[in-house]
Amino acid sequence: MSSVAIIGSQWGDEGKGKIVDWLSSRADVVVRFQGGHNAGHTLVIDGKEYKLSLLPSGIVRPGKLSIIGNGVVINPTALLKEIKNVQAKGVEISPENLLVAENANLILPVHEELDEAMEIARGGTPIGTTKRGIGPCYEDKVARRGIRVCDLRYPDLLREKLEAMMRHHNILLKGFGMKEIDPGVMFDDLMAIAPEVLRYAGVAWLKLDAAKTEGKKILFEGAQGTMLDIDHGTYPFVTSSNTVAAQASAGTGMGVNAIKYVLGITKAYTTRVGTGPFPTELTDETGEFLGRQGREFGTVTGRKRRCGWFDSVMVRQAVKLSGMHGIALTKLDVLDGLDEIKICVAYELDGKTIDYYPSSQSDQARVKPIYETVEGWKESTYGARSWGGLPAQAVKYVRHIEELIEAPVSMLSTSPERDDTILVRDPFQG
CA distance 58 to 71: 18
CA distance 43 to 418: 9
41 part of the active site: yes
b/e 243-263 (16+ beta carbons within 10 angstroms → b): bbbbbbbbbbbbeeebbbbbb
* pLDDT at residue 422 tops 90: yes
13 part of the active site: yes
| CA torsion through residues 412, 43, 380, 376, sign | negative
Find the angle CA(112)-CA(117)-CA(119) to the nearest 5 degrees: 95
**What phi and psi values does residue 218 have, to the nearest 5 degrees?**
-115, 130
* pLDDT at residue 110 tops 70: yes
Mean of pLDDT over the chain: 93
- Beta carbons within 8 Å of 78's beta carbon, 6+ residues apart: 37, 53, 54, 107
- Active-site residue, selected from the candidate residues 37, 41, 169, 232: 41
- Beta carbons within 8 Å of 1's beta carbon, 6+ residues apart: 217, 260, 261, 427, 428, 429, 430
- Beta carbons within 8 Å of 425's beta carbon, 6+ residues apart: 326, 408, 410, 411
Ramachandran class of 15: left when φ > 0, alpha when ψ lies in -120 to 50, beta otherwise = left
pLDDT tens for 306-336 read: 999 999 999 999 999 999 999 999 999 999 9
CA distance 243 to 71: 10
Per-residue pLDDT band for 1 (boundaries 50, 70, 90) equals low
Per-residue pLDDT band for 301 (boundaries 50, 70, 90) equals low
pLDDT score recorded for residue 419: 83
Please measure the distance between the N-terminal and C-terminal CA atoms of the chain and give it in whole angstroms.
Answer: 6
Average pLDDT in the 102-121 region? Answer: 89
pLDDT score recorded for residue 297: 76
pLDDT score recorded for residue 298: 63
- Active-site residue, selected from the candidate residues 13, 115, 140, 333: 13
* pLDDT at residue 344 tops 80: yes
Ramachandran class of 6: left when φ > 0, alpha when ψ lies in -120 to 50, beta otherwise = beta
* pLDDT at residue 210 tops 90: yes
On whether the CB atoms of residues 267 and 331 are closer than 8 A, the answer is yes
On whether the CB atoms of residues 32 and 67 are closer than 8 A, the answer is yes
CA distance 39 to 46: 23
CA distance 301 to 38: 8
pLDDT tens for 151-168 read: 999 999 999 999 999 999
Find the angle CA(380)-CA(381)-CA(383) to the nearest 5 degrees: 115
Percent of the chain with pLDDT over 70: 97
pLDDT tens for 20-51 read: 888 988 999 999 999 999 777 777 777 788 88
Q: Which amino acid is at 87?
A: Q
Query: Following DSSP, what letter does each residue of 233-271 receive, concatenated?
Result: SSTTSS-SS--STTHHHHTTT--GGG--EEEEEEESSEE
